Structure 1
């Protein structure tokens, strides 16, 4: 009986010693800030702040022949996302993040799939271009646009939406799509 008690006591002591082998190696300090939104988001195809955070961009009609091979683009339509407000803090940096989880984003191309259900155009998607640097955005990566700075209560970020042929020549028909976005304050 003494041997069993001694064995259990030794196991308990060893167990206490083992817990110190898993001591912390470091500390992560996390900080942040919460701010009241003093800016308003609006967008549209005009250079001046306009119709609210949800807005349409109507692409112009193009001939199918303008999209005759994979990768061909046509119909660039400029639009803006604005951050505005009389009390929007001067010098604030802002950017747009197109949500990579938006259902219309094609995971193979990073463009927006054509979601038209009635007579959809074939082999065509919509590509978003960061207008500040004239560079197509790969929306599946969830990267932010070029930053803009609030000056005089306004920051405007330009973009283009355009048709892009995928998988060969585009066929005629309708094109519809949508994408969610977030304005970030990096």
Structure 2
């Protein structure tokens, strides 16, 4: 009899503890998740990792950019095309951005204080040719194969007129894929 009473008391106590634990549950607002994408009718789909990527150019000393057309070491990056089919044989990239002194130089974002001067960013295609940031001129084309394709590019700083001054040196460009 004592065992039954002890067992029932234990079960009742566990039930009270369980109910007390449930009473401590708290829910708070967390935030918003943005889902972005696009459904396309094209030979390939641009890989999600290539859509909004950041290319880290790192720190470059002003002594590297002392005269017009001096450049930093290039940093490689890729635009990946996925799920390619046989409807196109070649892909090129059309770049658009604010030009900085020449059509093949991307202007830095203006900042009220602390921005580098006399410097822009140059992007080179797979042939080592500077791309044009006019929204119309295509880069050197790449032959497509079925499946995944990688289009290689390089970015570097380029001094404009005279010595570059130190400061933040960021820029943005957009791209479109042209299939042939």
Residue pair 1:60, 1:77 contacting (<8 A) in 2 also? no
Q: 2:45 aligns with which of 24, 40, 44?
A: 40
RMSD between aligned residues: 2.0
Structure possessing the higher radius of gyration over alpha carbons: 2
1:94 CA displacement: 0.9
2:122 corresponds to 1:127: yes
Q: TM-score if structure 1 supplies the norm length?
A: 0.67
Aligned to 2:159: 165
Quickly say closer, same or farther: Cα 1:136–1:177, change in 2 above 3 A. same
Partner of 2:178: 184
CA distance in 1, matches of 2:162, 2:52: 32
Structure 1: gaps spanning 5 or more residues: 1-34, 43-49
TM-score normalized by the length of structure 2: 0.69
Contact 2:90 2:144 survives alignment (8 Å): yes
Distance 1:154 1:172 in 2: 40
Q: Secondary structure at the match of 2:138?
A: coil
CA distance in 1, matches of 2:44, 2:132: 27
Between the aligned partners of 1:61 and 1:177, the Cα distance in structure 2 is 14
Contact 2:95/2:135 (CA < 8 Å) preserved in 1?
A: no
Aligned to 2:150: 156
1:109 aligns with 2:106: no
**For residues 175 and 147 of structure 1, do their structure 2 counterparts lie closer, same or farther at Cα, with a shift above 3 Å needed?**
same
What's the counterpart of residue 28 of structure 1? none
Q: How many correspondences in the alignment?
A: 138
Q: Is the 8 A contact 2:50 2:80 kept in 1?
A: no
Q: Is the 8 Å Cα contact of residues 78 and 160 (structure 1) preserved in structure 2?
A: yes
Task: Report matched runs for 1:12-91 at 5 Å.
Answer: 36-37=41-42, 39-42=44-47, 51-85=49-83, 88-90=84-86
Q: Is the 8 A contact 2:95 2:131 kept in 1?
A: no
